[in-house]
Chains A and B, each alone.
Chain A
Amino acid sequence: MKRRWGTVLVALGAILCLGSASASASGVRISPLPAAEAGRFWTPARMRQAKPLEVTGPRSSAPLSKKHGPQGRPHRIAAEAARPAGFGSDFEPVADSTAPGDRVHGAIFLALGILGYGRCSGTAVRSANESVVFTAAHCINSGGRRGRWFKSRWVFVPGYRYGQRPFGVFPAKWLDTTKQWRSSGSENFDVAAAVVGRNQRGETLGEAVGGAGIAWNLKTQRSFDVHGYPSEEPFDGETQRVCPGAPFLGHDPESFLAPGPLNLAVSCEVTGGASGGGWIIDGGTLNGVTDYGYFDDTSPDYGPYFGNEVARLYGRAARVR
Chain B
Amino acid sequence: MRRSVAILALLVSLLGAANAHAATSGPRLPSLFPSRLLGAVGEPVAPPQQFRSGFSIDADSGYEVKVATSGSAVILEVLRRRHGMRTETVYLARGVALPERLQATFGRFGKISMHFRQSHGTERKQVVCRDGRRFDMRRGVFVGSLEFKGEGGYVAVAPRRAKGTILTPAGGCPRHRRLRRGFDLFSAPPTTMVAVSRQGVDLTGFLTAELGGRTSYLAVHEETRGRLGIIRFAVLRGGRPLHVNEAATAATVAPPAPFHGSGHYRAAPDGTTAWTGSLSIDFPGAPRYPLAGPPFEAFLEAPF
Taking beta carbons and an 8 Å cutoff, which residues of A are in contact with B? 1, 4-7, 53-64, 66, 68-69, 136, 138, 187, 190, 249-254, 256-260, 262, 265, 267, 275, 291-292, 294-297, 299-300
Between A and B, 6 residue pairs with Cβ closer than 8 Å are A4-B1, A262-B94, A294-B198, A295-B35, A296-B32, A296-B198
Given A64-B94, A296-B198, 17 additional A-B pairs, CB 8 A: A4-B2, A4-B35, A6-B35, A61-B47, A63-B49, A63-B99, A64-B96, A136-B1, A253-B222, A253-B223, A256-B71, A258-B72, A260-B72, A262-B227, A265-B200, A292-B3, A295-B35
The answer to whether A253 touches B96 (Cβ under 8 A) is no
A256-B231 Cα distance, complex, nearest whole Å: 11
The answer to whether A5 touches B97 (Cβ under 8 A) is no
The majority secondary structure among interface residues of chain A is: loop
| Contact pick for A258, options B71, B223, B227, B231, CB 8 Å | B71
The majority secondary structure among interface residues of chain B is: mixed
A256-B91 Cα distance, complex, nearest whole Å: 10
A259-B48 Cα distance, complex, nearest whole Å: 12
Residue of B nearest to A9 (CB): B2
Q: Is B230 an interface residue (CB 8 A)?
A: yes
Q: How many of B's residues come within 8 Å of A, CB to CB?
A: 49
Q: Is B241 an interface residue (CB 8 A)?
A: no
For B49, the chain A residues whose CB sits under 8 A away are: 60-61, 63
Q: Is B50 an interface residue (CB 8 A)?
A: yes
A1-B230 Cα distance, complex, nearest whole Å: 25
The answer to whether A296 touches B72 (Cβ under 8 A) is no
Query: Whole-angstrom distance from the CB of B53 to the nearest CB of chain A?
Result: 10
The answer to whether B2 touches A251 (Cβ under 8 A) is no
Given A256-B93, A259-B71, A296-B297, CB of A138 within 8 Å of CB of B1: yes
The answer to whether B1 touches A55 (Cβ under 8 A) is yes
Taking beta carbons and an 8 Å cutoff, which residues of B are in contact with A? 1-7, 9-10, 31-36, 39, 45, 47-51, 69-73, 92-99, 196, 198, 200-201, 203, 222-224, 226-227, 229-231, 297
A66-B10 Cα distance, complex, nearest whole Å: 23
| Contact pick for B224, options A53, A57, A253, A292, CB 8 Å | A253
| Contact pick for B229, options A63, A249, A253, A291, CB 8 Å | A253
The answer to whether B231 touches A69 (Cβ under 8 A) is no
The answer to whether A257 touches B10 (Cβ under 8 A) is yes
For A55, the chain B residues whose CB sits under 8 A away are: 1-2
A32-B113 Cα distance, complex, nearest whole Å: 53
A4-B71 Cα distance, complex, nearest whole Å: 22
The answer to whether A187 touches B224 (Cβ under 8 A) is no
A279-B47 Cα distance, complex, nearest whole Å: 31
Given A250-B201, A275-B1, CB of A1 within 8 Å of CB of B6: no
What are the 4 A-B residue pairs with the smallest beta carbon separation, nearest first?
A: A6-B2, A61-B71, A64-B72, A297-B198
Query: Whole-angstrom distance from the CB of B142 to the nearest CB of chain A?
Result: 17
Query: Whole-angstrom distance from the CB of B251 to the nearest CB of chain A?
Result: 20
The answer to whether A258 touches B50 (Cβ under 8 A) is no
The answer to whether A254 touches B7 (Cβ under 8 A) is yes
The answer to whether B1 touches A60 (Cβ under 8 A) is no
For A136, the chain B residues whose CB sits under 8 A away are: 1
For A56, the chain B residues whose CB sits under 8 A away are: 2
The answer to whether B2 touches A257 (Cβ under 8 A) is no
The answer to whether A254 touches B6 (Cβ under 8 A) is yes
For A59, the chain B residues whose CB sits under 8 A away are: 4, 6, 48
The answer to whether B47 touches A257 (Cβ under 8 A) is yes
The answer to whether B227 touches A257 (Cβ under 8 A) is no
| Contact pick for B73, options A57, A257, A265, CB 8 Å | A257
A297-B297 Cα distance, complex, nearest whole Å: 9
A5-B2 Cα distance, complex, nearest whole Å: 5
The answer to whether B224 touches A258 (Cβ under 8 A) is no
Query: Whole-angstrom distance from the CB of A274 to the nearest CB of chain B?
Result: 10
Query: Whole-angstrom distance from the CB of B269 to the nearest CB of chain A?
Result: 20
The answer to whether B3 touches A62 (Cβ under 8 A) is no
A259-B94 Cα distance, complex, nearest whole Å: 9
A257-B72 Cα distance, complex, nearest whole Å: 5
For B50, the chain A residues whose CB sits under 8 A away are: 62-63
Query: Whole-angstrom distance from the CB of A267 to the nearest CB of chain B?
Result: 7
For A250, the chain B residues whose CB sits under 8 A away are: 200-201, 224, 226
